[in-house]
Structure 1
């Protein structure tokens, strides 16, 4: 089961499969079928609800009350209301919302790009983990943005992304910050985390015209299989739209 509808699964399947396998392995290591999972910035429950459907307890911390209302509705529809807790807040207020050393895994997807201080935010998240706990970190890829701007014909913007401190192509760039794999690795290490795996996400899904995927018989499944295979190849990480890092607390 994917955490989104089939068309959107092209963009989320790689992350979901890594997360699901990691949670399964961690539960087996602890001989504990139910894990405590924190989803920061989890919004409407795109990942939180599927994780709850695996039987785990999930706390979603998000600043948007509207998103949390949608999360509660989605959890109710999925029959996992008792496993999902919605809390309004952000990484800055996290120490007051989630006790230190109280969770087995943290989902941090699309958060480091928008916080004021990524290092501080990741440190706060790591502080909620029990020893050996997991962090699923998904962030925008600087190098992938270079390729995307170049293919769109915006060559000067592509060049700007290469050198800009935060990986932005200009004042009109809606993404506050992007990272390279090396930068994410350093952030993880500084937070006391050991990187276990790195995957490229949306290597091809954002480059292939949607009409090809939606109209060609078997194209969606074939593209999904290609995404899975390429995600594990370091050579393709540079062109992915996002990078997914799985790490564990030392």
Structure 2
């Protein structure tokens, strides 16, 4: 569900039908990369975890030749983009669900911005550091909710202690790397509290859910309390 919402927010930046050169940094199992390749874009996936990379490779191996030929998968991380690519090589750089694992992200973000062609889009999906108390609070975990008010880290669903990012800080960072904030959205406003083993709805119910999430993600005050933030910086 999140991947579809992000696709639509990214595509809104470009003319309908434009074929984009996309770099997906920390692509994981390749879900977003596969969606974009199926939509006709050329996608390069960068992933440092060999297991995740193998899963993505297996997923693309089952695709038709026309899709496979638009995809390149590389083992590496977001700090190595300058090793693999020339500056200005991409129209879109995705960095989704990655910054929470990076202690000092500014240098990596500066490198990602250099990969963008003029007018290119840097798409960040981060944990919302201004709303860390919401999930434990809604679950009735008051000690955790109170602790989260004064914390910049949280325990994710994998049990790892990771960073969160704040809108104000990332806005300043994007301005400093010549990819100033163009638009931002809240993601998982209503659905963050859903149990991980619950199957999402289908059909009309799924469409209603996605419509509600999309509207809330664009409107105050809802987007301010979303679990995730989607920030779009544009290279000058």
Fold match by TM threshold 0.5: yes
Residue 7 of structure 2 is aligned to residue 16 of structure 1? yes
Aligned counterpart, 2:154 = 168
Aligned counterpart, 1:128 = 115
Seen in structure 2, the aligned counterparts of structure 1 residues 147 and 52 have a Cα distance that, compared at 3 Å, is same
Aligned length: 232
Deviation track 1:16-46 (CA, whole Å, cap 9, x = no partner) reads: 2112333x42x77xxxx43221100012211
Q: Gapped runs of 5+ residues in structure 1? A: 1-8
Match of 2:28 among 43, 48, 53: 43
Check the 8 A contact 2:174/2:181 in 1, yes or no.
Answer: yes
Counterparts of 1:247 and 1:19 in 2: how far apart (Å)? 11
Aligned counterpart, 1:203 = 189
Deviation track 1:137-162 (CA, whole Å, cap 9, x = no partner) reads: 10011233211111122223222222
Seen in structure 2, the aligned counterparts of structure 1 residues 167 and 100 have a Cα distance that, compared at 3 Å, is same
Aligned counterpart, 2:213 = 227
Check the 8 A contact 1:20/1:51 in 2, yes or no.
Answer: no
Counterparts of 1:18 and 1:183 in 2: how far apart (Å)? 21
Check the 8 A contact 1:113/1:175 in 2, yes or no.
Answer: no
Check the 8 A contact 2:103/2:163 in 1, yes or no.
Answer: no
Counterparts of 1:189 and 1:176 in 2: how far apart (Å)? 24
Residue 92 of structure 1 aligns to a residue whose secondary structure is helix
Check the 8 A contact 1:40/1:61 in 2, yes or no.
Answer: yes
TM-score after normalising by structure 2 = 0.88
Q: Gapped runs of 5+ residues in structure 2? A: none
Seen in structure 2, the aligned counterparts of structure 1 residues 19 and 175 have a Cα distance that, compared at 3 Å, is farther
Residue 43 of structure 2 is aligned to residue 58 of structure 1? yes
Deviation track 1:187-226 (CA, whole Å, cap 9, x = no partner) reads: 21122112111110000012357879659x9543322221
Aligned counterpart, 1:190 = 176
Name the Cα RMSD after superposition.
Answer: 2.5
Counterparts of 1:98 and 1:191 in 2: how far apart (Å)? 18
Check the 8 A contact 2:155/2:162 in 1, yes or no.
Answer: no
Larger helix percent: 1
